[in-house]
Amino acid sequence: MTAIDNTSWTEETGDQAIAWLVRVQSDAATAEDWSALTPWLEVSPTNRAAFEHHELLSAEIEDHAEAILAGLAKPSADILPFPVRTVKPAQPAWNVGRGAIAAGLAAVAAFVGFGTWRASEGPLQVYRTAVGETRAITLADGSHIRMDAASTLSVRLGWFTRKVDMGDAEATFDVAKNPNRPFEIAVRDQKVRVVGTEFNIRNYDGVVNVTVRRGIVAIYQPTLSNEPITRLTPGWAIRHTVGSNLSVRDHVDPDQAFAWTQGRLVCDHQRLSEIVAYLNRRYADQIHIPRAAEGRLFTGVLALDDQRDVTRRLAAYLSLSVHRSDRNIVLS
C-alpha cells in the first residue's frame, strides 16, 4: 500500500476521521450526516488531511479486498498457532478505542467495501416534476431550488463540490455561499459554476438559457476550453444552442426569466412554437398549431393560472381560432 505521512495530526483527530468515515458510509447514513461532516472538515486543514488519508487507505483496502479476505481464511495445518497468553498487559483507554474503531473500519472495508465513498460527491438525489407541477426544494447545504413543470434534476452534495445534472428542465437556483464547495450544474454540453448566487436556467428543445439575478456565474463549454467562455453578472443572460460553438450573450431584465415562479410568462417577440412548447409542459391539455403558424411572434405577459384565458389571448393577438376536442386544443 502507499505510504502516507500521518504525522501532521494527532491520534484523536485520526480517530475522529475514522469515526466520520464509518458514519457517512453506513447504510443508515442520511443527508444530515453528510451535512454535519462539512463543518468538521472545515475546522482546519488537519482535519481534512486526516480524512483524506483514511479515505485513501479505505480505497486501497477495497482494491486489495480479495487478497485480504484470502489472508483471513482459516489457517492451514502447516501453520502453528501462537500459545495463548493468560495475562494481557494493560492498554491505555485511547488505544482500546482506536483499535475498536480501526477494527470496525477494516471489517467495513473488507466485507462491505467503500464503493459509496468512491461516490464521494455525495448520495444521489433525483427530483422530478410532472406536467403542470412545480416544486420548491431546500438542499441540505441551505441552497434553494424551484423547479418548473416537467423537469428533472439529479443532485449530489459532496464534501468538496456540489453538483447538479440538469435534464430537460427549467429551474431557479438560489445557491448558499460556500467558497470551499463550488456549485456546478451540468446542462447539456455546458457547465455552470458558482459559489453563491441566484440565477435561472431553461433547458428545452436543444437550447440552454442562463439568466443571472444576483452574484456571478461562470459558463464553461468543456469541448472548447477548460476556461470559462463567459462570466455573467446580474442582468446578463446567455443563450446557447446545444452542439454548436456559438453562445449569444445579452443584457436582460432578469425578473422576466423568473416570472414563471410567480405564475406568469413574459414574452418579447417570442415564436409561437416556443410558447406552445412551454405551455404544453404546464398544462395536461396539449396545444397544437399548424406549421404555418409556428413562426408567428408574440409580445406580452401571459397569466398561467387558467389555460383557457392563455389560449384565448394568444388566439386573439395572432388572429387565430380556438378548437377544442377531448384533451387537445388546436389554434389555427
Residues 172 and 271 in one domain: no
| pLDDT score of 225 | 87
Determine the average pLDDT of the residues in 248-277: 95
Residues 248 and 145 in one domain: yes
| pLDDT score of 63 | 57
Residues 83 and 131 in one domain: no
| pLDDT score of 144 | 97
Residues 244 and 133 in one domain: yes
**85 found inside a domain:** yes
Query: Does 38 score more than 80 pLDDT?
Result: no
- Residue 175: which of 193, 202, 156, 151 has the closest Cα? 193
pLDDT band at 327 (very low <50, low <70, confident <90, very high): confident
Higher per-residue confidence, 257 vs 96: 257
- Residue 130: which of 271, 263, 284, 254 has the closest Cα? 284
For 153, the grid coordinates are 434534476
Residues 151 and 218 in one domain: yes
Query: Does 72 score more than 70 pLDDT?
Result: no
Other CB atoms closer than 10 Å to residue 21's CB: what's the count?
23
The last residue of one of the domains, among 239, 257, 275, is: 257
Other CB atoms closer than 10 Å to residue 155's CB: what's the count?
22
**63 found inside a domain:** yes
User: What is the C-alpha radius of gyration for the chain, rounded to an integer number of angstroms?
Assistant: 28
What is the per-residue pLDDT across 75-104, written as a single tens digit (0 to 9) for each? Answer: 544 445 545 454 444 444 434 455 555 555
Residues 148 and 230 in one domain: yes
Q: What range does the domain containing 293 cover?
A: 263-331
| pLDDT score of 62 | 58
The last residue of one of the domains, among 224, 257, 290, is: 257
| pLDDT score of 109 | 47
Backbone angles phi, psi at 272, to 5 degrees: -60, -35
Residues 98 and 29 in one domain: yes
Other CB atoms closer than 10 Å to residue 144's CB: what's the count?
14
| pLDDT score of 70 | 60
Least confident of 42-51, 142-151, 163-172, 246-255: 42-51
What is the per-residue pLDDT across 231-246, written as a single tens digit (0 to 9) for each? Answer: 999 999 999 999 999 8
**274 found inside a domain:** yes
Residues 21 and 51 sit within 8 Å (Cβ to Cβ): yes
H or E segment and range at residue 138: strand 135-138
* pLDDT above 90 as % of the chain: 56
Residues 239 and 128 in one domain: yes
The last residue of one of the domains, among 87, 118, 149, is: 118
Residues 211 and 283 in one domain: no
| pLDDT score of 100 | 52
| pLDDT score of 309 | 93
> d(Cα 102, Cα 190) in Å, to the nearest integer?
43
Backbone angles phi, psi at 135, to 5 degrees: -150, 140
| pLDDT score of 44 | 82
What is the per-residue pLDDT across 109-133, written as a single tens digit (0 to 9) for each? Answer: 444 444 444 446 688 899 999 999 9
- Total domains present in the chain: 3
pLDDT band at 288 (very low <50, low <70, confident <90, very high): very high
